[in-house]
A = this chain, B = another copy of it.
Amino acid sequence: MIRIALDLMGGDKAPEEIKTGAFMYAEFLKKSKINNVKIHIVGLPEHVKDFESHPLREFFVIVPTRDFLPMDIKPTEALRRKESSMYVCSQMLKEKQVDAIVSAGNTGALLACATLVVGRIKGIERPALAVPVPSLKGFTVLIDAGANAEVKPEWLVQFAEMGIEYAKLLGIPDPKVGLLNVGTEENKGTEREKQAYALLKERYGARFHGNVEGSDINLGTVDVVVTDGFSGNIAMKTMEGVAKLISTIIKQEAKKSVDGILGALLFARTLKRLKKKLDPRSYGGTFFLGVDGLVIKAHGNSDRVAIKNALEVARRGVENQLVEKLRRSLGREVND
C-alpha cells in the first residue's frame, strides 16, 4: 500500500482547492483502477469531515489536527507549532506511518520540517527543490529551484550530486551538469560561483560542462542546472511569466485579423499542447531532494489540478523508490 499524507491547510487556495484536488485524485485512482493508494488527509476537523461522507471514502484516511500554518509563517515558528497540519504530516513521514507527504504551504516552513523533523540523507547538508523544466532536449533538472535563498559553494556540489541522480532516475544515463551564472567564462559571477566552479570541475571533470546562462536552461545545453534557491526561483517564475505573456499575445494578435482567427482555430491543438508543456501546474509538485523521505512541495498557489498532479508525483516517487535510490547512490558517492 502506498500511503500519501496531504496537508489540507497549506497553500494560497487552501483548504478548498486542496480538498477538491484530493477528490479529483481519488476519482483518477478509481478510474485508473489503482487500488494500492491511501491519501491521509491532514487538517482541521471542520475541513477533514468533508471526506467522511465522500463517495470515494475508501481512498482516504482522516487525520484531524488542531493547528495549521499561515502562508507567511517563519521557519523557526513552524518548528514550534507541532500540532499544525504540516508538522503532523512530517512527523507521520518520520515515523513511517506514510510513504510521502504533499504540501502547498510555505516553502521555508516545509523545508524546515523536512530537514529537522524528517531528517536528511547522509552527506547532504541542505535539501533542495529539483524541478524538471521543459527544454529543447526534453527536460532539464533545475536544482535548487527555491529552497535555499543563500547557499555555500559546497552545497552547490551536493545539489549537483542530487540533480545527477534525479536525472538518471528520469532516464538520462550520463547527465551533464552546468553551473548557472551570468556568463560562460570561468571567472564569472560572485565568489560563491567561482568557488563552486572549481569544486565542480574537480569532482566531475568532463561531466561538468562549466558555467551556463539563463537561456541554457530551456535550450537544454546540459541535463542538470545547479544554482542557489534565489536564482533558481527567479528563473522558474520568469519562465511562468514569459509563457503567460506569449499565450496572451498569441490570443490578442490572433483576434486582429481573419487570417489570425482562422489560423488560431486550426492551430488550436498545437497551442494546447504547447500550453500543457509549459503549464507549471502540470509539474504538480517538486521533490525536496536530500530529505530522508519523500516530500513534495506543490506551488503555493496550487489549484485543484496542481494538487491532483502533485499527489500523482508522490505516488510515482514512492513506486520508483526515489528516496531509496538517492540514499544508495549518495551514500556511495559520499564515501568514495
Name A's B-contacting residues (CB within 8 A): 71-72, 74, 107, 134-136, 146, 149-150, 180, 182-183, 185-190, 213-219, 227, 229-231, 233-246, 248-250, 253-254, 256-257, 259-260, 262-270, 273-274, 277-278, 300
Contacts and interface: CB of A to CB of B under 8 A. Distances in A.
Query: What DSSP secondary structure best describes chain A's contact surface?
Result: helix
Given A238-B238, A249-B274, 16 more contacts: A72-B185, A72-B187, A136-B248, A149-B182, A150-B190, A214-B237, A215-B244, A230-B231, A231-B234, A235-B238, A246-B246, A257-B269, A259-B266, A259-B270, A260-B267, A264-B267
A244 B330 CA distance: 35
Most interface-central of A264, A265, A267 (chain B CB within 10 A): A267
B269 A266 contact: no
Contacts of A213: 233-234, 237
A240 to B, nearest CB: 4
Contacts of A249: 273-274, 277
A219 B235 contact: no
A215 B243 CA distance: 9
Contacts of A234: 180, 182, 213-214, 227, 231, 234-235, 238
A253 to B, nearest CB: 4
Most interface-central of A213, A214, A239, A244 (chain B CB within 10 A): A214
A244 B218 contact: yes
A92 to B, nearest CB: 26
B230 A218 contact: no
Given A214-B237, A233-B214, A234-B180, A260 B250 contact: no
A259 B268 CA distance: 9
B187 A214 contact: no
Contact of A240 (B215, B233, B254, B274): B215
